[in-house]
Chains A and B, each alone.
Chain A
Amino acid sequence: MSAPCMHPSCLLLLLLVVCRHAHTNLVSVTENTTVTTEPPVETLSPITPPVAPLTPLQTGQKSVVLTGENHTEKVEVVNPVTLNLECVWTGDNKRLPNITGYWTKDGKTIESSYSNTQLQNDRYYLRKEFSIMSEEDLGTYSCIFGPKAKVDFILAAPYLGEMRDKPIVSYVGDSVVMICKMDEKKSKPINWNWYKHNGTSKEKIEVDSPGHRYKITKDEKKTKLVVHNLTESDSGVYFCGAVYGIGTSMGHMQLRVITYFEPLKPFLGILVEVLVLVAVILLYEKTGSKKENQSGPEGNPDQTSNLSHGENAVADGHSGTARQRKV
C-alpha cells in the first residue's frame, strides 16, 4: 500500500481495517466504494428481528484517512456489533491547532459527540464507538471536522444482488418465478422471506395460504418464489428479505400480470396487414390480366419460360421427359 500523503492536495485514500477479535464475517468491507447508486436498504419497523443465537458481542473498527473534503465508506454489517469508527483528516492549509468535530447519524447531529481535536502528527482524529444492535442503528454515520471535511460511513446489511428494474411480466393462468440472490462474496443470510405490497404495507407471503399457489424455495445464497395460476390481482410489488442478525435486507421487484389480449392486439394488426397485402396483390393481378386479355395475347412480363425453352431447344425442346408446371 502506498505511503500516506502529507500534502493536502493529494487524493490518495487509505483503508485500514483492524479486527480486534478475529471473527470472520464480522464487519466486511464492501469492495465497491465508487458505486453510490445502490438502492437504500429499507428499514422495516413492523417486522421483529429474529432471535439470534446468543454470541458474545463482536467488535470491529473502521478507519478512514481523509485528504480531500469528503469521502463515503460502505460498511456491511451482518450481526450486532460494537463498531469503532475513526476518521483521520490531514487537514487544510490553515493548520489550526484545535478544531471542533462531531458526529451525525442520518443527518441528525449526535449532541454528545462534540469534541475538540488537536493536531497530532499533522493530523486530526475523531473517534467514536457505536453500538449497532438492531435495524434502527443502521444508517449513515458521519464524522465532521469543523465545517470543512466529512466522512460518511454507510452501515447496512449486505445488499442484495442485481435486481431487475423492469417489471416481470406473466399471463393470467400461467406461473411465474421470482428470484432473489445474494452475492457470492457476501455473508449468507439466516433466512429468506417474501412479502407482497398490498397498498399500505408489506404482507408476508405464507406457503400454506389458501389455494396453495405459492411455493418458496430457500438456498443459502438465493431464494425463489413461484406463484401458480396467476390472476390480475397478483400484479404488484413483491419484496424478498434476506434476514441477518442485524436486520433484514430488502429487494423488490414488480410483477405485471397481463391477459392474452395484450399481445393479441399487435398480432391481429399484423395479420390484417398480411391479408390486405395478399388481397391487393391478387386483385391487382386479376385486373392486370383482364386488361391483357382484352388487348390481345402478347408477351407476358413473366419470361421464365423463355430461358428454359431456349436451353431445352439445344437438346430436345419437346422431350417427353419434360414436365409441365401447372398454373
Chain B
Amino acid sequence: TILEGPDGGWGWVLVAALFVCNTLVFGLMRVFGIFFVEFVHYFGESAQAISWISSIGVATQQFFSTVGAALGNAYGARVVVMAGGFLTGLGLILASQATAVFHLYLTMGVITGLGWGLVFAPMMATVMAHFTRRRTMALGLSLSSIGLSAFAYNPLFQLLIESYTWRGALLIAGALAFNIIPCGALIGPQKHSVVSSYMALSVLLERPYITLVLATSFMNAGFFVPYIHLVALGRGARFSDYQAAFLVSSAGIADIVGRLFSGWFTDLGYFRMIHVLTTWAMLLGLSIALLPVSTLTGSYLVVTVASVLYGFCSGALTALPFSILPQIVGVGRVMGALGLLQMLESGAGLLGTPLSGYLRDITGEFFISFLVAGSFLLVAGLILTTQPHFFSRTDPPLPPKHPLDL
C-alpha cells in the first residue's frame, strides 16, 4: 500500500529551516580549520592538541544524536532544537573568552557539540515526517547546504578573524548559531502524537535496520575519502594547485546536480528505494575507484570527468540512507532510529580517513586508499542486497510494534 501522507506545503519551509540548521552545524564544523592556525599561534600548543577541539566537537555531536532523538520524542522536536541552538551558540560565545586550550575543549567541543547533537536528529526527523513521496528530494536539498556553507564560510570567517581576531569571530559565530532557534521555532507547535519509543532501541533487534547501519557504516568509511584527499590526488598527478582545487569544485557542482536528479528520480517511485540506494552506492564505489585510475592517463580532462562522476554519485547517494528510514523502521521510530544511526555509523567515519591516510603513508600515494574507499562502498551495496525482501518487487510491510520499546 502506498503511504498517503503529507508532501510539501509547510514542509518546504522546514526544508529551508533544516538547510540553515545544517550550515550552522556541519558548516561551522568545517570552519574549525581556519581557527586552527590562530589557536596554534595564540596558545603556542601543538597541532595535535588543537586538533582535539574539532574532534571532541564532532564526536560529541554524533554521540548525543541519540540523546537529541530521545528528548525530541519525549518533549517534541521544537523545544529540543531550540535548546540545541541555544547551547551551540552558548558554547561558541564562551569559547571566545577562553584563556587555555582546555577551555576550548569544554566550550567549542562539549557544549557546542551537545547543542549540535540535539539539533540534527529531531530536525531531520521532522522534515521527513512532512514528506512521503518527495522525501528524497527534500532531504537532498536540505543536506546540500553543508558543502555550500563550507564554501561560503571560509572567506567570511577569514574576514571576521582579520577584523576581530579569533575571539571576536567566535563571538559572532555564536550569535550566528543562535539562528538555529528560529529555525526550530518554525517547526510549529507539536500535536499530540503517538511515538512508539524514545530512543527506538528496538530497532537494534531488527535485521533490516542492522543491515542498514552496517551498510551506512561502510559508506561512511569510504564516503569522505575523496572529499578530503582529492586535492592531494590531483597534485600527485602533477596537476597545478588550481587545477587540483578545481577538481573539488567541479565535484561539488556535480554533487548538487546529482542530488537534485536523485531526489526527483527516487521520488518518481518507479523503483524501490532500497534498489535505488544500492545502485547509487555501487556506482559511487566504482566512481571513487575510477578516480585514481583516471590519473594514470595523465589527462586532466579525464580526471575532471571522473571527479564530476564522483560528485554526481556522491550527491545522489547522500539523502537516501536517511529517506529510506521511515520504510525500514516506521515513521514513529524515525527520530530515534536516526539518532542511533548517526551514533553507530560515526565510528566508521572516524576510522575511514585516518585509514586512507595510513595507506597513503605506507604506499607513498593515494592510489590504494581510493581503491579501498571505493571498495567500502561496493561492500556497502553488497550488504544492502542482504536486506530482507531485497529481491521482491514491492516494499515489504513495516515491522510489527515491538513490545520491548524503551
Of the candidate stretches B140-148, B167-175, B229-237, B246-254, the one touching chain A is B167-175
Closest to B397 in A: A314
Q: Which residues of B contact A315 (CB under 8 A)?
A: 400-401
Q: Mark B149-192, 1 if CB is under 8 A from A, else 0.
A: 00000000000001111011101101110110110011011111
Given contacts A169-B162, A316-B401, A326-B75, contact A263 B172 (CB under 8 A): yes
A285 with B188, Cβ < 8 A, contacts A304-B129, A322-B195, A322-B196 known: yes
Q: Mark A309-327, 1 if CB is under 8 A from B, else 0.
A: 1111011110101111111
Per-residue 0/1 for B193-220: is the Cβ within 8 Å of any A Cβ (1 yes, 0 no)? 1111010000000000000000000000
Q: Which residues of A contact B405 (CB under 8 A)?
A: 321
Tell me the bound Cα distance from A289 to B175 in angstroms. Answer: 30
Q: Which residues of B contact A311 (CB under 8 A)?
A: 330-332, 398
- Tell whether A290 is near chain B: CB-to-CB under 8 Å: no
Residues of B within 8 A of A317 (CB): 194
Q: Within the assembled complex, what's the spacing in Å between the Cα atoms of A288 and B292?
A: 57
Whether A19 is near chain B, meaning CB under 8 Å from some CB there, is no
- Using known A-B contacts A169-B163, A315-B401, determine if residue A267 contacts B175 with beta carbons closer than 8 Å: yes
- Contact residues in B for A314 (Cβ distance below 8 Å): 397-398, 400
Residues of A within 8 A of B171 (CB): 263-264, 267
Complex CA gap A273/B171 in Å reads 15
Which segment of A141-149, A205-213, A275-283 sits at the interface? A275-283
Given contacts A274-B175, A308-B195, contact A281 B186 (CB under 8 A): yes
- Near A by CB (< 8 A), chain B positions 1-49 give 3-6, 9-10, 41-42
Q: How far is B171's CA from A171's CA once the two chains are assembled, in angstroms?
A: 13
Chain B, Cβ-Cβ closest to A324: B192
- Residues 257-300 of A, flagged 1 when their CB comes within 8 A of B and 0 if not, give 01010111011101101100110011001000100000000001
CA–CA, A263 to B172, complex, Å? 7
Taking CB atoms, residues of chain B closer than 8 Å to A307 are 3, 5-6, 129, 132, 331
The smallest beta-carbon distance between A237 and chain B, in angstroms, is 18
Residues in chain B near residue A20, CB distance under 8 A? none
Interface check A36, CB cutoff 8 A: no
The total number of A-B Cβ pairs within 8 Å is: 145
Task: Kindly state whether residue A170 has any CB partner on chain B within 8 Å.
Answer: yes
Interface band, chain A: 35 or more
Given the complex of chains A and B, what is the CA–CA distance between A267 and B178 in angstroms? Answer: 11
* Bound: A321/B192 CA distance, A: 15
Asked whether A32 is an interface residue with its Cβ less than 8 Å from the other chain, the reply is: no
CA distance A324 to B194 in the complex (A): 5
Q: Is A12 an interface residue (CB 8 A)?
A: no
Query: Measured between alpha carbons, how far is A84 from B244 in the docked complex, in Å?
Result: 47
Cβ–Cβ contact A312 & B167, under 8 A: no
Q: A170 to chain B: which residues have CB within 8 Å? A: 165
Q: Is B403 interfacial (CB-CB < 8 Å)? A: yes
Distance between Cα atoms of A316 and B194 in the complex (Å): 12
Q: Determine if A185 is an interface residue (Cβ-Cβ < 8 Å).
A: no
The answer to whether A270 and B175 have CB atoms under 8 Å apart is: yes
Chain A residues with CB below 8 A from B196, complex form = 308, 312, 321-322
Q: Give the contacting residue for B165; candidates A171, A306, A321; CB below 8 A.
A: A171
User: Closest B-chain residue to A168, C-beta based?
Assistant: B165
Q: Which residues of A contact B192 (CB under 8 A)?
A: 305, 324-325, 327
Contacts of B75 in A (CB 8 A): 325-326
Give the distance in Å from the alpha carbon of A263 to the alpha carbon of B175 in the complex: 11
Contact of A267 among B41, B73, B172, B397 (CB under 8 A): B172
CB distance from B140 to the nearest CB of A (A): 21
Q: List 7 A-B contacts (CB under 8 A).
A: A171-B167, A267-B171, A268-B175, A270-B172, A278-B185, A308-B196, A310-B3
Which 5 pairs between the two chains have the least Cβ-Cβ distance?
A: A263-B168, A270-B175, A277-B182, A315-B401, A263-B164
